[in-house]
Amino acid sequence: MKRIPIALAALAMLSACQKSQPEQNEAAPNLAPPASNAVIPSVTPGELPPADANLRFVGVWAAEKDLCGEGAWRFTERGLGTAGEVSCDFNRINPVPEGYDIAAMCRAEGDEVRNTLRLRFAESAKTMMVEADRILQPVGLVYCGPHTG
């Protein structure tokens, strides 16, 4: 049993070492401070990650549980990739009541635009609502599980 916390700590340290450094002309993302429990505890698909989780949006999400495989959206602490042709790199993450406002550079069908993503957690509906200024249509997503690379 003592091996699990050591393995989780080693994994967290390894992932921190593998993060790329921002280029000189690029501002570093304003990420939320790391939590003492950086790994989100096991959450049943369809349930929301805990409200006190650091960067609660990180993981695999879909419009419905049946789309968790092929139709999933993958959120990392640095960006987003949808099941379609949309991907975003996060520039600044601002925690706000009920979620996050994220300044991002998004790409879809060859176009690249600055965007503001608004992520809000609807506790009673067990969904994360995603709205954006451009490219993405508003959508409610259910949590499928942690991001596995």
Q: DSSP letters along 75-136, please?
A: E-SSEEE-SSSEEEEEEEEEEETTEEEEEEEEEETTEEEEEEEEEEEETTTTEEEEEESSSS
More confident residue, 45 or 116: 116
Please count the structural domains in the chain.
1
Domain that holds residue 138: 41-145
Average pLDDT over residues 97-125: 93
Q: Is 124 a domain residue?
A: yes
Q: Is 16 a domain residue?
A: no
Average pLDDT over residues 6-13: 31
Cα angle 91-56-72, degrees, rounded to a multiple of 5:
85
pTM to 2 decimals? 0.69
Average pLDDT over residues 127-141: 89
Q: Is 7 a domain residue?
A: no
Q: Is 94 a domain residue?
A: yes
- The per-residue pLDDT for range 47-73, each reduced to its tens digit, is 899 988 889 999 999 999 999 988 899
Q: Is 1 a domain residue?
A: no
Examine the pLDDT at 41 and tell me if it is beyond 90.
Answer: no
In the predicted model, what is the mean pLDDT of the chain? 75
Q: Is 3 a domain residue?
A: no
Range from 23-32, 92-101, 113-122, 133-142 carrying the lowest mean pLDDT: 23-32
Predicted local confidence at residue 135, as pLDDT: 74
Predicted local confidence at residue 39, as pLDDT: 46
Q: Is 9 a domain residue?
A: no
Cα–Cα distance measured from residue 97 to residue 25, given in angstroms and rounded to the nearest whole number:
31
pLDDT band, very low/low/confident/very high, at 43 (cuts 50, 70, 90): low
Q: Quick one: tokens of 102?
A: 């994220």
Average pLDDT over residues 36-51: 66
Cα–Cα distance measured from residue 24 to residue 44, given in angstroms and rounded to the nearest whole number:
41
Q: Is 137 a domain residue?
A: yes
